[in-house]
Amino acid sequence: MEILLLIALMLATAKLLGYLFERLGQPVVLGQIFGGLIIGIFFETNPVIGQFANLGVLLLLFIAGLESELEEFKRVGKQSVVVAGMGVLVAFLLGFAVAYFFVPLHEAVLYGAMMTPTSVSITVKVLMELRRLNTREGTTILAAAVVDDVLGILVLTIAISMIRGGSVNYGSLAEVLISVSLLLFFFLFFGPELAERAFHYLSRIDLPEAETTFALVFLIVFAFLAEHLNLASILGAYLTGLALGQSTKKKSILDHMNVLGYSLFIPLFFVEIGMRIELDYILHAGLFAVLYTLAAIISKIIGCGIGARLSGFDWGSSINIGIGMIPRMGVELAMLAVAIESGLIGSDALTVAILMIFVTTVITPPFLKWRYSR
């Protein structure tokens, strides 16, 4: 019963602070994160709420996929690779350069790798609020974030392999490359047709919300599959939404997912992010943590911005894309957990990671809104 009451408190806080921040001209998601930060002072999150929040981020990316146009996604494919590639390269080099003066060489390599991925969920929510998600810039950010996470996993695999054995484990690299290639090929070329056929047969099940239920089933199954292939679960969620969004059932599924997601799971996700932030870690962050966080912000603006400019965007759009790629969150913590469990880096790295995640998460929404309001 206590968990249910905590969920009720989180939902009420999400809507009230979200409304307050909206009235102040700030993104709703920022109010939800700060609401979680306040709740986190008095209450701790737990595995049950964690699973609700996990479903929230999957639903958020699933809805983003439903709202995206497949042809636009294919059209920005090459551009997104350039944007993500430059962003990862500059982020790794800056992260390594900053860490090199504070930690041993092998840890500096891991800190460089930890800076590379982007957590697109915050940016997606802001672009949805601004109605800029289904634009060339928004689609490029989404596609680049997909490539970004894959490249980040590859960089981490290389770093851990080199530190452990003095050489690169090409088997692990090949496994990741093959997995993501097959997943993207399947969803982009066969996903829409298979989705149409599946819902044609499922329409015979004359039960309330049967289509919505099976859309959730597909979402969870393919998110699990992506994670089982050592990829981010949000990649599977987004690609599932992208495939289902090309079917004739798109509007019906999207309407019901919006109600389900934004009334319960997505607000819980953003509030839980705030609850996970440890104020003690942030207040006691040292010079290294501060410099590392600044490098994390600058690296994506410069790297992804240059990548976007090379891909044909003007400087204004390039900066917008760079800002949209700033946030860090889930993948970084997963990478850090792997490194700590491997004994390759100390647990004090958590302080650095949490400050970086907190700052990049908080500054991106108002920064994006300011850019687009111009």
pLDDT digits (tens, 9 = 90+) for 284-320: 668 888 999 999 999 999 999 999 999 889 999 999 9
Can you say how many angstroms the Cα of residue 31 is from the centroid of all Cα atoms in its chain? 18
Between the alpha carbon of residue 250 and those of residues 68, 124, 199, the distances in Å are: 11, 19, 11
Tell me the average pLDDT of the chain: 83
Residue 57: count of CB within 10 angstroms of its CB: 25
Task: Quick: pLDDT tens for 47-90.
Answer: 899 899 889 888 988 888 887 777 766 776 788 889 989 999 99
**Has domain 2-373 been given CATH number 1.20.1530.20?**
yes
Alpha-carbon distance 12 to 51, whole Å?
A: 19
Mention every residue, 6+ apart, whose C-beta is less than 8 A from residue 161.
Answer: 167, 168, 169, 172
Average pLDDT of adjacent 10-residue blocks, the chain of 374 residues = 90 94 78 89 89 89 80 74 91 93 86 83 81 84 78 71 63 73 81 86 83 92 84 78 86 92 92 80 78 94 94 91 85 64 70 81 87 80
Alpha-carbon distance 112 to 282, whole Å?
A: 20
Alpha-carbon distance 138 to 80, whole Å?
A: 11
Confidence at residue 318, expressed as pLDDT on a 0 to 100 scale: 93
Mention every residue, 6+ apart, whose C-beta is less than 8 A from residue 134.
Answer: 67, 68, 69, 72
Backbone angles phi, psi at 69, to 5 degrees: -100, 125
Place of tokens 């650095």: 352
Report pTM: 0.72
Confidence at residue 52, expressed as pLDDT on a 0 to 100 scale: 92
